[in-house]
Homo-oligomer: A and B are copies of this chain.
Amino acid sequence: MKRIALPLALLVLSGQAPAPPPAPKVLAPSEIVAAAPAADWVAIEASDLLVMDLAPDRDGNKRRVVIQLMPPPFSQGWVGNIRKLAAARFWDATSINRVQDNYVVQWGDANAEDKAKAKGLPPGLAKVSQSDYAIDFSKVRSWHTVSTVKSSQRSPRSYSPVDGKNDVSSDAYAWQTEIANGWPVGTDTETVWPVHCYGMVGVGRDMPPDTGTGAELYTVIGHAPRHLDRNIALVGRVIAGIEHLSSLPRGTGPLGFYEKPEQREGIVAVRLGNEVADLPRYQYLSTESASFARYAAARANRRDAFFIHPAGGADICNIPVPVRKVP
C-alpha cells in the first residue's frame, strides 16, 4: 500500500501526471516467427523430402517443388510406396496433367489408364486399406497430447458475445482440430487424421475401395477441400516452390485436366531429398514451442496495427506451420 501511496503523493506535489508507459508493439504473426529462437526450430531430414524438378518455364527459369513427406503414424503405407516410386525413377519424364482452379494440381503418368503406353509400377508396392485414412487414438498415445485427453475433458465450444471470442476455434469437419508434431489434424472421439489444407499433398485414386498407390499425386491450390479428409490419403505437404504449381494455366477439360498432351507440364525428375546434392536444409517451427503458441494466438487474434477487429479464432488451415531454410 505504501509503495503505491508514495508515488501518488509525489504526483500530487508535482502537479503532473506521468506519461503512461508506451504500449509494447504488437507483433504480427510473421514477426513472431522471425523472432523465434533457434531452439524452437526442428530440422527436417533430407530423406523425408521429395524433390520434384519441372521442365524450365518459358523463360528458361528452373522450377523446383519440395515436398515434406508425412511422418508416422499417418499414411505410412503410401509414403513407403512413394519412396519406392522415387527410387525407381517412376516420375521421371511424367507430367502435370490436371490443374483445377481453387482445387488441385495433379501429376503422374498421363498414360496410366492405357496399358499399352503406361510406364508400369515398380514391384513391391503396398496395397493400403481405407482404414488407414485415420488412426485410432490408442495407436498414437505417445504421439501427441490430445491422445491422452479423454473426450469428456475436452472443452465444448463456447462463445462470449461480450469479447467476441471463441474459446475453442470451431471446425465444420472435425470434432476438434489441432496442430501437433508439426502437422494439422482433425479428431473425433476415437480417431485422428491429417487434413486437407492448402499445399497438402494427397494420393489420387479410383473409386473405392481403391486407395491409390501413391503414383498419382495432387496438391491443394485453393480453399481447403476438407470434405476429402478421411476419403483420400494425405502423404505430405509442399514446403517450397508451390508457386510453380499454383500459377500453372488451368486445364480446360473436365476436372481441370489438360485437353491436349502438349499442354501438360513436364516433370524432369523426382528424387528423395538425400539424393539431391544442392538441396538447402529446411526446418519447421516446433508446434510444441512457445513461439508457435504465440504465432497461433496471433493468427487467431490479429492485433497488429492494420487490424481493428481480432477474429477471436482461426481455422486450422489458416495457421500454416512455418517452414524456412536453415539460416
Contacts and interface: CB of A to CB of B under 8 A. Distances in A.
Interface in A262-306: 299-300, 302, 305-306
A143 interface: no
Contacts of A230: 308-309
Contact of A170 (B157, B207, B209, B305): B157
A198 B223 contact: yes
A306 B225 contact: no
Interface stretch (A68-76, A87-95, A242-250): A242-250
Given A247-B250, A308-B130, A223 B226 contact: no
B172 A227 contact: no
Contact of A227 (B166, B231, B250, B302): B302
22 contacts: A102-B198, A102-B199, A102-B246, A157-B170, A161-B189, A164-B188, A171-B172, A172-B311, A172-B318, A222-B223, A223-B223, A223-B317, A223-B318, A225-B318, A226-B314, A226-B318, A227-B314, A227-B318, A231-B306, A243-B250, A247-B250, A315-B315
Given A231-B308, A246-B247, A247-B247, 17 more contacts: A101-B246, A102-B198, A151-B161, A157-B157, A161-B175, A161-B188, A170-B170, A170-B171, A222-B222, A222-B223, A223-B224, A226-B318, A227-B299, A227-B314, A229-B311, A246-B246, A247-B250
A309 B195 CA distance: 14
A249 B243 CA distance: 8
A58 to B, nearest CB: 7
Q: Is the interface of A mostly helix, strand, loop or mixed?
A: loop
Interface in A225-244: 225-227, 229-231, 242-243
A211 to B, nearest CB: 10
Contact of A222 (B157, B198, B307): B198
A306 B211 CA distance: 11
Nearest to A256: B243
A246 B313 CA distance: 27
A227 B317 CA distance: 12
Contacts of A246: 101-102, 246-247, 250
A241 to B, nearest CB: 10
B231 A309 contact: yes
A123 interface: no
Interface string A50-92: 0000000010000000000000000000000000000000000
A315 B223 CA distance: 10
B207 A223 contact: no
A197 interface: yes
A212 B327 CA distance: 38
A107 interface: no
Nearest to A58: B58
A175 to B, nearest CB: 5
Nearest to A102: B198
Nearest to A315: B172
